[in-house]
Every structure is written in structure tokens, then in C-alpha cells.
Amino acid sequence: MRYIEQQTVVKRMNGRLIANAIFKYIFLAATLLALLALVILLFRIVSQGAGNLSIDFLTNFASRFPDQAGIKAALIGSLWLMMVVAPTSIILGVGSAIYLEEYAKQNRITSFIRMNISNLAGVPSVVFGLLGLTIFVRAMALGNSILAAGFTMSLLILPVIIVASQEAIRAVPGELRDASYGMGATKWQTIVNIILPAAIPGILTGSILALSRAIGETAPLIVIGVPVIIQFLPAGVMDTFTALPMQIYDWSSRPQPEFQAVAAAGIIVLMAVLLFMNSIAVIIRNKFDKRY
């Protein structure tokens, strides 16, 4: 006796093909919906804000008058912030990832730490703001300086960088490690010469995406008391500052409709910065991938 009867197969064929087609359109619709939302958002922001974009907008400080308001302090402030966040979070993050993957004994404590790092990546940013307020602003008396904000943001994105780096390191084939150790290389030589070069594309992609998150975060900055109206540029990391999302948040919460347009122009600048950072990530990845 045969289990698969040709006739039933033929009879069911139609239904299977229809289901196949239906699902294709469902997924297409999901993609289009997401795209549509994105396009509407972009269109609204650009149509609202483009009129305010000008060299003056980039070179003016904040102002009570919407037509004179500029984003200089926030743009420069965000760049300062990144100059603290990028080295702090990447050095600490990659260091922790190397320790966890290459040095730590694989026991229960390590897997407990691993699990919690992944969980930390999901903690709301306000909580990190409170942590920063307690440790950096108050206990270490850094005040609402660039350094305090930078350390807080570093804590916020550290879990993401650690997890991305761990995955990149774990993806380096074991045979390469074996080959290096087999020639009498020490662990450190193997890490520097073999593991890190192979893992760098993954590490940098993850890190830059994490940095883009830091540059757009507002909540931690509000919690640690970063001001909005600033009429000077910071001279060093101990000075106070303001950042792009803070400035945008302030403008969009003002009653005058003209400020909504200013906020939209600010968002365009922020998005341009993000786009710039993401394209750096892509370039780095392509550059290093060519070596394989």
C-alpha cells in the first residue's frame, strides 16, 4: 500500500499554492507598512524643517526667537559627548568581551554574568540616568559635565557593545586559534594577531550602532540635569553642555508653532549625523571583509 496517493496530492495542490501566494503578500504588506510609516515620518519632518535649515541654523546658539534659533551648541555638545563615549565604551566593552570569551573559565559564574549582560541591554535608559546621577554627578562630584554624561551614556551602551563583540569573537573559527597556539603563540599574541583582526568588522559595526543609540538618547541626559539653553561652547570635558536630542526635545515642547519647525530642522541634523555614523560602519565592514 502507498501512503502518498497521487490523487490527494493533486487535490491539495491548489490549496497549498494559494496559501503560498497569500503569505507572500502578507509579508510584502508588512514591509510596505513599515516603509510607509518611515516615508511619512521623513516627509513630515523634511517638509516642516527644511525651510529652517541654513548655515545660520548650524552656527547660531539657541534663542528665544525661532528665526534666530540655532543648533551650534547642541551639535558641538553631541560631538564632545561622542569623544568621551566612544573610547570609554569601546575599550571597556571590547575588553570585557575578550575577557569573557578568551580568559574566563567556562563555569556557572561566567554564564551568570553573560546572561545578565544581555539582560542589561534591555534596561530602560532612565534607569541608567539615575545610576549616572548617583555615581558620576553626585558621588564623584563631576556635576552635569560632559564627562559625567559621557560615562553615563557609556554604561548605557556597554552591554550592547559587549554582546556584539562577544559574538564577533565567538565567530572567529577555532581552527585559526589552534593554528596560532600550535606554533607556540601566547594567548595575548593570538588575540592581537588573529582573533581581533578577524573580529573587528563585527565589533565596529556593533559599536557604531550602539554609539548611534547614545547620540539619540534624551532620558539619561534629562535625569543627570544637562541644561538646554547654552550660549557658549564647552572648552573641556569638565564643562557643561547640551546635546542634539535635548535641544530638539526643548524646541518641540514649546507652545509657538514656529518652534515645531525649528525642532524638525534639528531632527534633520540629528538624522544626518546618524546616517553619517552608519555609513562609517558600512565602510569599515566592507574594508575589513575584503581581507577574506
Partner 1 sequence: MTTIITNKSVSGATADQTAKKAVYETKQLNLWYGSNHALKNIDLEIMENEVTAIIGPSGCGKSTYIKTLNRMVELVTSVKTSGEILYRGRNIFDQDYGVEELRTRVGMVFQKPNPFPKSIYDNVAYGPRIHGIKNKKILDEIVEKSLRGAAIWDEVKDRLNENAYSISGGQQQRICIARALAIEPDVILMDEPTSALDPISTLKVEELVQELKKDYSIIIVTHNMQQAARISDKTAFFLNGEVVEFDHTDTIFSNPSDKRTEDYISGRFG
Residue window 88-127: x/- pattern of binding to partner 1, with contact defined by CB under 8 A: -----------------xx---------------------
Interface residue with partner 1, options 194, 204, 208, 214 (CB under 8 A): 194
Closest approach of Cβ 196 to partner 1, in Å? 12
Q: Which of 122, 182, 255, 257 binds partner 1 (CB under 8 A)?
A: 182
- Rounded Cα–Cα distance for residues 92 and 165 (Å): 11
Applying CB under 8 A, which of residues 88, 165, 180, 205 lies at the interface with partner 1? 180
Nearest by Cα to 156 from 211, 106, 204: 211
41/192 with CB nearer partner 1? 192
User: Based on the number of CB atoms within 10 Å of its own CB, is 90 exposed (0-12), middle (13-18) or buried (19 or more)?
Assistant: buried
Q: Per-residue DSSP letters for 98-150?
A: HIIIIIS--SHHHHHHHHHHHHHTTS-HHHHHHHHIIIIIIIT--TTBHHHHH
Q: Count CB neighbours of 133 within 10 A.
A: 18
Does residue 179 interact with partner 1 by CB under 8 A? yes
**Torsions phi, psi of 55, nearest 5?**
-60, -40
Binding mask 245-274 for partner 1 (x = CB under 8 A): ------------------------------
Judged by CB under 8 A, the residue of 7, 8, 55, 175 near partner 1 is: 175
186 binds partner 1 (CB under 8 A): yes
Among the listed residues 207, 188, 230, the one whose alpha carbon sits nearest the alpha carbon of residue 85: 207
The residue ranges that bind partner 1 (CB under 8 A) are: 105-106, 173, 175-186, 189, 193-194, 197-198, 291-292
